Amino acid sequence: MDELWLKRAKFLVVDDQDYNIDLLERILKRAGFDSITSTTEPKRLEKLYHELNPDIILLDLHMPEMDGYDALKLLNTLVPDGDYLPILVLTADVTKEAKQKALQEGAHDFLTKPFDRMEVVLRIQNLLKTRYLHLQLQDQNHNLEQRVRERTKELELAQLEILQLLGRTSEYRDDETGQHIQRVGKMAGEIATALGLPEHEVRLIQLATPLHDIGKIGIPDAILLKPGRFTPEEFEQMKLHTNIGASILEGSLFPVLQIAATIAGSHHEKWNGTGYPHGLSGEDIPLVGRIVAIADFFDALTNERPYKRAWTQEEAMAEIDKQIGIHFDPKVVEAFKSIIQVPV
């Protein structure tokens, strides 16, 4: 027990009799307590409570205008849930009914008038010890919560870094900077926002999208880095990256990886059913796959690759317009156009 804290504990004494207040103040000061605020006006209780944030309240039970029972009801509304503020009732009424009613309203202990000095000090010390232990526990809980928040943030940052590094494993052979996956992730998040998806879903899509081509790690370099067009056989091999990516990511308990698996396996499906790997069409294609399809397509066209020159944004938008209802979901294209800064 911190004796210094005990001596500095803040008292609020509410009693309509000056004599009782004077007596209590003398007893408390002789016991070493020096932070004592008193009032004979119970209606000032709420104001004084907010000003002082007391550690203990000594409350007379029978007062005019606002009696102790009404004051206890008021304190029930003022003291935060889970807080322990000891309330010591001062009363000459020693009846069983009075004590039961006061306890029901939130009193913690009683002092019977006329006061016994030793009893006053001991009861107050016991209540303040409990208050001190409660505050210590609150402080420990706060520190623990802060450490948990810090640790959670560290884990989130580590998760983000791992996701980025995983995404780059699919790009390091033809885009060593990893900028393609970052651009597509950012664009997919903006399209999802334009479609009105909830913020937490947008965040997951933005984090998951960089893994859309992780299956490329299973594609031979001779195909992945080949300049020019693929032969039909090579293209069939290239298409396998969707199945490989979905297989790598499937079965995770983490929502971000679940979405990533869906994206990996569906971002090459086409609105008219001519895409791969499953030939899905229309809204049978997961929305995240439809979103990433256009973001990936636009970024791939407008940036140079080993097998192609970079298209202008105007050329890319013209091609996307041609593919509305064929390759792309018309509503997703509309959302895409609302976020892309390209003259059309």
Over residues 156-164, the mean pLDDT reads: 76
Examine the pLDDT at 173 and tell me if it is beyond 80.
Answer: no
Question: By mean pLDDT, which of 73-87, 161-175, 243-257 is the weakest?
Answer: 161-175
Range with the largest mean pLDDT of 58-62, 191-195, 230-234, 304-308? 191-195
- φ/ψ (deg, to 5) at 324: -65, 125
pLDDT, tens only, 65-104: 899 999 999 999 999 988 899 999 988 887 888 888 888 8
DSSP element (H, E) containing 186: helix 179-194
SS3 87: strand
pLDDT, tens only, 68-78: 999 999 999 99
Instruction: Tell me where in the chain the CATH 1.10.3210.10 domain(s) lie.
Output: 172-339
Range with the largest mean pLDDT of 94-98, 198-202, 229-233? 198-202
Q: How confident is the model at residue 344 (pLDDT cuts 50, 70, 90)?
A: very low
- What is the Rg, in whole angstroms, of the alpha carbon atoms belonging to the chain? 35
The pLDDT of residue 170 is 66
Question: Which one of 1.10.3470.10, 3.30.70.100, 1.10.3210.10, 1.20.1090.10 gives the CATH number of domain 172-339?
Answer: 1.10.3210.10
Output the CA angle 9-14-20, nearest 5 degrees.
100
Q: How confident is the model at residue 172 (pLDDT cuts 50, 70, 90)?
A: low
What DSSP string describes 15-57?
Answer: -S-HHHHHHHHHHHHHTT--EEEEES-GGGHHHHHHHH--SEE
Q: How far is CA 27 from CA 13, 41, 59, 113, in A?
A: 13, 21, 16, 14
Token duo for residue 23: 């007596």
Strand 87-91, strand 56-60: pairing: parallel
Count of alpha carbons within 13 Å of 27, Cβ hemisphere only? Answer: 21
Token duo for residue 324: 């509305």
The pLDDT of residue 5 is 84
Percent of the chain scored above 90 by pLDDT?
Answer: 60
Specify whether domain 3-144 bears CATH 3.40.50.2300.
Answer: yes
DSSP element (H, E) containing 286: none
What is the arrangement of strands in the sheet containing 56-60, beginning at the earlier edge strand? 35-39, 10-14, 56-60, 87-91, 109-112
pLDDT, tens only, 30-44: 999 989 999 999 999
DSSP 195: T
Q: What is the pTM of this model?
A: 0.60
- Could you tell me if 201 and 256 are in contact, meaning their C-beta atoms sit under 8 angstroms apart? no
- 269/283 Cα distance (integer angstroms): 11
Q: How confident is the model at residue 177 (pLDDT cuts 50, 70, 90)?
A: very low
- Could you tell me if 249 and 264 are in contact, meaning their C-beta atoms sit under 8 angstroms apart? yes
- 29/208 Cα distance (integer angstroms): 65
Q: How confident is the model at residue 160 (pLDDT cuts 50, 70, 90)?
A: confident
- φ/ψ (deg, to 5) at 262: -65, -45
